[in-house]
Amino acid sequence: MEPLWYAPGMRGLLFLFLAAAVSGAEERNDIVYSRPGGQELTLDASIPAGPGPFAAVIVVHGGGWQRGTKRSYEKPLLPVLAEAGFAWFTINYRLAPQNRFPAAVEDVEAAVRWVKAHAKEYKVDVKRIALMGESAGGHLVAMAAVRQTKETRVAAVVDFYGPHDLYQREMNRGKVTENLNALLGIEKLDEAGQARLKEASPINFVRKGLPPFLFIHGTKDAAVPFEQSPLMCDRLKAAGNRCEVFPVEGAPHGIGGWEGRPEWTGYKAKMVEWLKATLR
């Protein structure tokens, strides 16, 4: 039985606190990074000990574009990044259906600009910033990367089981799923609906000169079919970009469910190794 003072999520927050203490990182929470339409969007930050500047990772949570916060599904990633010596920033963004695509992508882009503008204060090397997202967050970081401008360009992308071809995903299912109805405001796979799905699919905007991608995806993912990651990687390579797919054999959707399973948590070492090599 948990003690009376225990609250849901407290174990995860305690783990993050202990990880920060071990790494010597300083954590700052609930910092406003953008105010679209007057709505305050916040992020949490972890700053490594030492003079820096450090490579940094901006983390974008999942939740079907409708749910989640900066401290929800991505919690297993944050202590790993801190212990590896990265600065990290985990963000809230505008959720559907109140905010349709591309609002959340614009928020990711705003976060990149904010981190670059505050790089000196947070000891960040602006040339070594990565985006990282899982599930819907994987879609958002991929979309931000393919839409990149000089101001929003990053040096790397780590994409956990993100859907990259929304058109193919929905056509294979033969219907518009509830989360994409919320994100895009479509109910049918008619001509207008199909056009909207293509408009929101990162795979359709791949071009030369994009940052390297690492795709991490469970091979038994029922929510986002595993094939979505190799399809996106193939398109990136065809355009002259670098990418790699790291399959997590037998794993379902969601890194939270991978915890406690050594055969599924090897992605952590791979993620750190890849980031260090890519951002060196």
3-state secondary structure the chain: CCCCCCCCCHHHHHHHHHHHHHHCCEEEEEEEEECHHHCCEEEEEEECCCCCCEEEEEEECCCCCCCCCCCCCCCCHHHHHHHCCCEEEEECCCCCCCCCCCHHHHHHHHHHHHHHHCCCCCCEEEEEEEEEEECHHHHHHHHHHHCCCCCCCCCEEEEECCCCCHHHHHHHHCCCCHHHHHHHCCCCCCHHHHHHHHHCCHHHHCCCCCCCEEEEEECCCCCCCCCHHHHHHHHHHHCCCCEEEEEECCCCCCHHHHCCCCCCCCHHHHHHHHHHHHCC
May I ask the CATH class of domain 11-165+201-278?
Answer: alpha beta
Q: At residue 71, does pLDDT exceed 60?
A: yes
pLDDT value at position 16? 47
Burial label, 35 (beta-carbon count in 10 A; 0-12, 13-18, 19+)? exposed
Q: Can you tell me the mean pLDDT for 117-122?
A: 98
**Could you report the per-residue pLDDT of 129-156, keeping only the tens digit for each?**
999 999 999 999 999 999 999 999 999 9
Q: If you average pLDDT over every residue of the chain, what do you get? A: 93
Q: At residue 3, does pLDDT exceed 60?
A: no
Closest CA to 198 of 180, 182, 210: 180
pTM, two decimals, is 0.92
What share of the chain in percent tops pLDDT 70? Answer: 92
Contact between 236 and 206 (Cβ < 8 Å) = yes
pLDDT value at position 11? 45
Reported as a pLDDT band with limits 50, 70 and 90, residue 23 is low
pLDDT value at position 174? 95
Reported as a pLDDT band with limits 50, 70 and 90, residue 201 is very high
Q: At residue 9, does pLDDT exceed 50?
A: no
Reported as a pLDDT band with limits 50, 70 and 90, residue 14 is very low
Q: Which residue has the higher pLDDT, 18 or 156?
A: 156
pLDDT value at position 271? 98
Reported as a pLDDT band with limits 50, 70 and 90, residue 13 is very low
pLDDT value at position 58? 98
pLDDT value at position 82? 97
Q: Can you tell me the mean pLDDT for 230-243?
A: 98
Q: Can you tell me the mean pLDDT for 214-239?
A: 98
